[in-house]
Every structure is written in structure tokens, then in C-alpha cells.
Amino acid sequence: MTVFGAPPVVAAVNGSAHSMAAALWAANEAVLRKADLLLLMAYGVDGAPFGNRSFPPDAWFKAKEAITEEVLREFRAECESMVPDVKPATAAVDSGPIAALTEISATARLVAIGAPAGEVAGLFGGVSASRLSSGAVCPVVVVRGARRSGPVVVGVDGSPSSEEVLAWAFEEAAIREAPLVALHAWHDGDVAGLFSGEGALPFPGESVRETENRLLGQRLAGWRKKYPLVAVEQVVAHDKPRQRLLEQSEKAQLMVVGSRGRGGFAGLALGSTSHALIHHAKCPVMVVRAAGRAG
């Protein structure tokens, strides 16, 4: 059963099979977390094109609202049927998609979206999964691939946001009682991908791979202590991170990565690795921003 008052797990829906997959994934996540589930559908617009201040007429809004309410009823019934322990709430939002996501992500535990070809068609028309993942305050899970058992995989780089990414990854592995694969990969010239700071200098006679493996172990040590029941596999590779993570996604049940986004909805940018994963991974991908809440 859900716990009222806790930050909800939110599923952005639009009536498509892809968003149904996201809703069912979110329903199961809500049960695991003992959290509420909110099914959200937005049918407004964020603004008129440049130079045109006209907005859709009231009749258009009323028609969209009626369709939205029907879709939400169908999705709620399906979630209750497939995941009996969840009792979803629904919200039909007449604002535009960017405004709706910005507002809900400030109070949500996480947001799940379906991603046909990387786009959230219909609900967030024209707004890509890349933009949503970069701009949301809480983590965004792009639901891809078939539901399966398997490890949670986390991509660990040398950025300051890695600690928060690890916090989410260990928590997700713990609530699923799943092993965790912590992967750190770098390639020549990828200075940002190398661990840095105190203790990052190699020991005498130590190769770069040995140094990175040792530093990854140090990065994981505190989280292993906090989550002693999570079995951790440590993987270090001299390769492009996105290639190794895409390979891992074929057997993972969830991938957790950082966004390296700059925040806000204007001029957003995902790192190339997280961008590639949300478009091509074979499993759901959780994208964590530095502002995301963990623990």
C-alpha cells in the first residue's frame, strides 16, 4: 500500500503504448518505494510561436480536456489491474508541457516517461526526452526495453555529481534486491572522465587502469558500507563510456547516469553519454541531475 504524504512517483502519460509502459514501470516503482503514484497528462501549450500571440481557442482546450480525462481513466484502471497494490491519483494539467514538468518535478520523487524514438509524443509534443531529462529537478526515468530482472548498472565518472548518481543507484539496487554494476570508463583525451582531486595521483609503478580502479573502489567504499546487502561488481574499462554502458544495458534492469545538464529549460544540454543511452539503451535509463534528491 502507498504512504500518503511522501513525494510521489510520477508517470507522464499520453495514451500511447510507450507511456503505458512508463505508467506500469512507475506503478511498480511506487510499490517498491511505498510511495504514491501520480499519472500526469498535460494538454496545454507553453506559448505561441515568436511573433504570434494567439493561443488555441476555448473549444480546442475543452476537447483536449475531455480526451485527457478519458485517457487518465483508462490508465488508472490498467495500473490498478496490473499492479493491485497501487492506487494511482491522476492530474489533467491545462498548462504547457514544460511548465507542467517543471512544477511537478520540484515535488516528485522521480518522473517516468515513455520514449518512442526519444520523443514523448502527444503529451509533451515536440519536447524531447533529452530536454526533459536535463531540465527536471528530480531524476527522470526514460522507460525503454522489456521489463526484466538483472543488475542495476551505474555509470561513474570523475564529475562532482557522481556521489548523487551513486546514491540513487545504490538505493535502486537495494529496493530491488538486485546486484549493482559500477562502471567507470574513459578514453584518450577524456580528462573530464578521469577521477581527480586528493589521492588521484598514481602510486609508483601503477598504470592508469589500476589508478582508476583504486579510485573507483574508494568512491564506492562509503556506499558499500551504507548498503552492505548490495552485491557490487566493479568494472573499469579504457573505452568510450557510452559504448560500454550500451552493452551493459542489454542485461540490466535499470541504468543510472548523470545528466551533466546545465539546468532550466532554455539552452539545455545532456552529456553525450546520457543522451545516447536515453535514445538507444535496451533498459530503462534514470538520468540524475545534481539537484536530484536521493537517500
Query: Does the pLDDT value for residue 117 go beyond 80?
Result: no
Residue 279's CATH number: 3.40.50.12370
Residue 139 lies in a domain: no
Asked if the structure places residue 197 within a domain, the reply is yes
Global model pTM greater than 0.85: no
Backbone angles phi, psi at 78, to 5 degrees: -65, -40
Pick the more confident residue, 87 or 45: 87
Domain C-terminal end among 127, 143, 169: 127
Find the CATH number of the domain harbouring 121: 3.40.50.620
In a domain, 210, yes or no: yes
Q: In terms of residue numbers, what domain contains 59?
A: 9-127
**Considering the domain boundaries, does residue 78 fall inside one?**
yes
If asked whether residues 161 and 280 sit together in one domain, one would say: yes
Does residue 137 sit within a domain? no
Same domain, 92 and 174: no
Q: Which of 172, 179, 150 is nearest to 252 (CA)?
A: 150
13 and 87 part of one domain: yes
Residues 50 and 165 in one domain: no
Tally of domains within the chain = 2
Q: Per-residue confidence at 288, pLDDT binned at 50, 70, 90? A: confident
